[in-house]
């Protein structure tokens, strides 16, 4: 089995993308140009090979037994990149009701609960909601992806995020536009910092 783990060093300080010869504090051109709303993003593995197969299995609801390993991966990536003692709460990326009906459950919530337990923090499951029905992000250009997700999140209860450092958890990061939009909404609701962590990342 080949699991392509990502290094948390030698990468862009903001998006976490691996960049050759990147030293501490390096910010990639893309982040300088587009300025994502999350403060930083980290991912555990590359979304390919066996990692992709395992993740899809877990997402489908078949590979529930994989959860503990996946939680270890996320905890290791987040722990290498962030000072987890400074995290106040964990927020799972919300999915639309449509997707929930389609897949039956939001697998991200289960992972977020475990991570929250691991670092002894609250898991804020219904603080952010997804509204509207954006098109699928797959197949869209980076610009289209950004526009497609604008205004699709809503903070239902700002109280627990105000002034806080939030660990925002999602399964797969592609361009990061969904994470950025969600982070923007959290910040508008008063969150101080949003640190994103995803299980996997598509590497172009």
Catalog residues that contact Zn ion under the rule CB under 5 A.
Answer: 12, 14-15, 28, 31
Contacts of the segment 62-67: beta carbons below 8 A, 24+ positions apart: 67/110, 67/111, 67/114
Angstrom distances, CA of residue 38 to CA of 17, 20, 154, 195, 197: 14, 23, 16, 6, 10
Dist CA 133 CA 96 (whole Å): 8
DSSP string, 86-139: G--EEEEPP--HHHHHHHSS-HHHHHHHHHHHHTT-EE-SSSEEE-S-PPPSTT
CA-based nearest residue to 141, from 21, 34, 16? 34
Q: How far is the CB of 181 from Zn ion (least distance, A)?
A: 16
For residue 18, the minimal CB distance to Zn ion (Å) is: 10
State the nearest-atom distance from the C-beta of 11 to Zn ion, in Å. 8
Find the shortest distance in angstroms from Cβ 27 to Zn ion. Answer: 6
Report the residue number, 15 or 123, with the smaller CB distance to Zn ion: 15
128: which strand partners? 155
Cβ 201 to Zn ion shortest distance, Å: 12
Compare residues 2 and 33 and give the one whose CB is closer to Zn ion. Answer: 33
Query: 15 or 111, CB closer to Zn ion?
Result: 15
Please, which residue, 7 or 60, has the CB nearer to Zn ion? 7
Beta carbon nearer to Zn ion, 32 or 135: 32
């Amino acid at each position: 089995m080949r699991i392509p783990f990502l290094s948390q060093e030698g990468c862009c300080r903001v998006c976490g993308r691996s960049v050759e010869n990147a030293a501490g504090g390096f910010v990639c051109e893309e982040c300088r140009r587009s300025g994502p709303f999350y403060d930083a993003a980290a991912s555990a593995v590359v979304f390919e090979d066996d990692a992709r197969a395992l993740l899809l299995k877990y997402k489908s609801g078949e590979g529930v037994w994989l959860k503990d390993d996946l939680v270890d991966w996320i905890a290791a990536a987040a722990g290498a990149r962030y000072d987890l003692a400074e995290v106040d709460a964990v927020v799972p990326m919300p999915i639309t009701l449509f997707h929930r009906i389609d897949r039956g459950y939001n697998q991200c919530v289960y992972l977020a609960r475990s991570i929250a337990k691991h670092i002894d923090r609250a898991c804020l499951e219904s603080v952010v909601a997804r509204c509207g029905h954006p098109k699928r992000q797959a197949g869209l250009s980076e610009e289209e992806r950004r526009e497609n997700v604008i205004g699709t999140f809503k903070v239902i209860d700002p109280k627990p995020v105000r002034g806080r450092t939030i660990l925002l958890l999602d399964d797969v990061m592609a361009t990061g536009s969904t994470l950025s939009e969600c982070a923007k909404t959290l910040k508008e609701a008063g969150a101080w910092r949003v640190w994103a962590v995803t299980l996997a990342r598509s590497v172009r």
